[in-house]
Amino acid sequence: MSKNIEIKSVFKIKNVGDNVSISGWVKTFRSNRFIALNDGSCLEDIQCVINFEEIDNEILSKINTGTSLNIEGEIVKSQGKGQSIEILVKKINILGLSDPDKYPIQPKKHSFEFLRENAHLRVRTKTISSVMRIRSEVSYAIHKFFNENNFYYVHTPIITGSDAEGAGEMFKVTTLDLNKIPKDSNGEIDFTADFFSKETNLTVSGQLEAESMALGLGKVYTFGPTFRAENSNTSRHLAEFWMIEPEMAFYELDDNINLAEEFIKYIIKYVYNKCKNEIVFLSNRLIKEEQNIPKNERSELSLEERINFVINNKFVRITYTEAFEILKNSKPNKKGKFKYPLDNWGIDFQSEHERFLVEKYFKSPVVVYDYPSKIKAFYMRMNDDNKTVRAMDILFPGIGEIVGGSQREERIDVLKDRIKSLNIDEKELWWYLDLRKFGTVKHSGFGLGLERLILFITGMSNIRDVIPFPRTPKNADF
Question: Where does this chain bind ligand 4AD (CB under 6 A)?
Answer: 164-165, 205, 207, 228, 230, 237-238, 241, 243, 245, 401-406, 445-447, 449, 451-452
**How far is 347 from 371, CA to CA, in rounded Å?**
10
> 10 or 243: whose CB is closer to Mg ion?
243
Q: Closest approach of Cβ 351 to ligand 4AD, in Å? A: 11
Q: Closest approach of Cβ 8 to ligand 4AD, in Å? A: 31
Among Mg ion, ligand 4AD, none, the one that 238 touches (CB under a kind-dependent 5 to 8 A) is ligand 4AD
412-421 helix and 430-437 helix, angle to the nearest 10 degrees: 160
> 71 or 357: whose CB is closer to ligand 4AD?
357
For 441-478, letters b (16+ CB in 10 Å) and e give ebbbbbbbbbbbbbbbbbbbbebbbbbeebbbeeeeee
Among Mg ion, ligand 4AD, none, the one that 458 touches (CB under a kind-dependent 5 to 8 A) is none
Q: Let me know the angle formed at the C-alpha of 358 by 222 and 255, rounded to the nearest 5 degrees.
A: 40
Write the DSSP string, 98-117.
Answer: --TTT-S--SS---HHHHHH
Q: Closest approach of Cβ 289 to ligand 4AD, in Å? A: 22
Among ligand 4AD, Mg ion, none, the one that 207 touches (CB under a kind-dependent 5 to 8 A) is ligand 4AD
Among Mg ion, ligand 4AD, none, the one that 259 touches (CB under a kind-dependent 5 to 8 A) is none
Among ligand 4AD, Mg ion, none, the one that 240 touches (CB under a kind-dependent 5 to 8 A) is none
- How many residues would you count in the chain? 478
Q: Closest approach of Cβ 208 to ligand 4AD, in Å? A: 8
CA distances from 450 to 128, 154, 337, 391 (A): 16, 17, 31, 20
Q: Which of 123, 102, 113, 118 is nearest to 25 (CA)?
A: 123
> 92 or 243: whose CB is closer to ligand 4AD?
243
Q: Closest approach of Cβ 247 to Mg ion, in Å? A: 16
Q: Using the 8-state DSSP alphabet, how is residue 17 labeled?
A: T
Gyration radius (Cα) of the chain, Å: 27
Q: Closest approach of Cβ 391 to Mg ion, in Å? A: 9
Tell me the β-bridge partners of 173: 200
Among Mg ion, ligand 4AD, none, the one that 164 touches (CB under a kind-dependent 5 to 8 A) is ligand 4AD
Closest chain position to Mg ion (CB): 404
Residue 86: its H or E element: strand 85-96
> 25 or 379: whose CB is closer to ligand 4AD?
379
> 66 or 365: whose CB is closer to ligand 4AD?
365
Read off φ and ψ for residue 10, nearest 5 degrees: -60, -45
Q: Closest approach of Cβ 201 to ligand 4AD, in Å? A: 14
> 105 or 204: whose CB is closer to Mg ion?
204
> 68 or 440: whose CB is closer to ligand 4AD?
440
Q: Closest approach of Cβ 398 to ligand 4AD, in Å? A: 13
**How far is 206 from 224, CA to CA, in rounded Å?**
8
> 27 or 228: whose CB is closer to Mg ion?
228
**How far is 252 from 391, CA to CA, in rounded Å?**
11
Among ligand 4AD, Mg ion, none, the one that 446 touches (CB under a kind-dependent 5 to 8 A) is ligand 4AD
Q: Closest approach of Cβ 178 to ligand 4AD, in Å? A: 25
Q: Using the 8-state DSSP alphabet, how is residue 185 labeled?
A: T
Among ligand 4AD, Mg ion, none, the one that 117 touches (CB under a kind-dependent 5 to 8 A) is none
Q: Closest approach of Cβ 211 to ligand 4AD, in Å? A: 9
Q: Which of 390, 400, 407, 396 is nearest to 446 (CA)?
A: 407
> 29 or 266: whose CB is closer to ligand 4AD?
266
Q: Let me know the angle formed at the C-alpha of 214 by 210 and 216, rounded to the nearest 5 degrees.
A: 130
Residue 351: its H or E element: helix 351-355
Residues that bind Mg ion (CB under 5 A): 404
Taking CB atoms within 8 Å and a gap of at least 24, the contacts of 25-28 are: 25/66, 25/67, 25/68, 25/69, 25/124, 26/63, 26/64, 26/65, 26/66, 26/67, 26/68, 26/69, 26/98, 27/65, 27/107, 28/65, 28/107
> 154 or 164: whose CB is closer to ligand 4AD?
164
Helices (H), 36-124: 57-60, 112-117
